[in-house]
Amino acid sequence: MTDHVQTSGRFGTAASSSAVQRNRVLRNTYWLLALSMVPTVLGAWVGLATGITAGLGGGLGLIVFLGGAFGFMFAIEKTKNSAAGVPVLLAFTFFMGLMLSRLLAMVLGFSNGASLIMTAFGGTAAIFFGMASLSSIIKRDLSSMGKFLFIGAIMLLVAGVANVFIQSSALMITLSVLAIGIFSAFILYDLKRVQDGEETNYITATLGVYLSLYNVFQSLLMLLGVFGGDRE
């Protein structure tokens, strides 16, 4: 009887410790995600103020973006368990903000450009809070979603690269709609993995959610620019 009580106590302590760890990872993920918005906005502002990305069109822009993004993601993976992990992630978000400045400049060329950007931001925030709420409500295991979402993201990337050269407006609109759906699901999937204890590194978790938010915002902004942009 005593052994049973001691064993139950150990299991209870382990479960409590695991829950505390999951909550800590989730809390750190949310804090770092909020912090990552600062260098993103700063990068976008630098890009708009200097026009440094204005000449990065077509194939050159694609090479710079993919090379920089994948280079930073490799560095984040290598440093995620060290003190350099957070600074490298924040440097990456600055770079992503810089790359976003070309799209922002195009949208700001509309008379209602600032309003479109705020609408896209509000829509992205609504999707994030909706997916975050769902992740805390849904009890079923969503790990099987991962492979389908990954395949969808790869197909989007390939089609997006192709459209840099094809320049099809219809394909761009289709890809933007699909991206909003796929990356919204990715937010749910990544946050649920943290809450289930499957992801224990908050830097990796933040990177995944950040990339999804970035793609949702960018896709919403493209659609708003196409359908709601007013020329002066």
Residue spans per domain, the chain = 21-228
Summarize pLDDT for 136-194 with one digit per residue, the tens: 898 888 888 889 999 999 999 999 989 888 888 899 999 999 999 999 999 999 999 99
Q: Are 50 and 105 in contact (CB under 8 A)?
A: no
Confidence band of 16 (pLDDT split at 50, 70, 90): low
- Digit-coded pLDDT (tens) for 109-121: 998 999 999 999 9
Other C-beta atoms within 10 Å of 81: how many? 11
pTM value?
0.89
- Using alpha carbons only, give the angle 195, 201, 204 rounded to the nearest 5 degrees: 100
120 with 221: CB under 8 angstroms?
yes
Amino acid 184: pLDDT: 96
pLDDT of residue 14: 47
pLDDT at 210 over 90: yes
The percent of residues in the chain predicted with pLDDT above 90, rounded, is: 66
Is it the case that residue 6 has pLDDT exceeding 50? no
* Strand (E) or helix (H) holding 138: none
Looking at residue 11, what is its pLDDT? 44
Place of tokens 């260098």: 39
Q: What are phi and psi of 192, to 5 degrees?
A: -65, -35
One-letter amino acid at 41 equals V
Residues 187-204, mean pLDDT to the nearest whole number = 92
- Which one of 16-25, 133-142, 160-169, 210-219 scores highest in mean pLDDT? 210-219
Per-residue pLDDT tens over the stretch 219-232 = 999 999 888 877 76
Residue 105 has pLDDT above 70, yes or no: yes
pLDDT in tens, 56-93: 776 788 888 889 999 999 999 999 999 999 999 999 99
> Residue 48 has which token pair?
């708009």
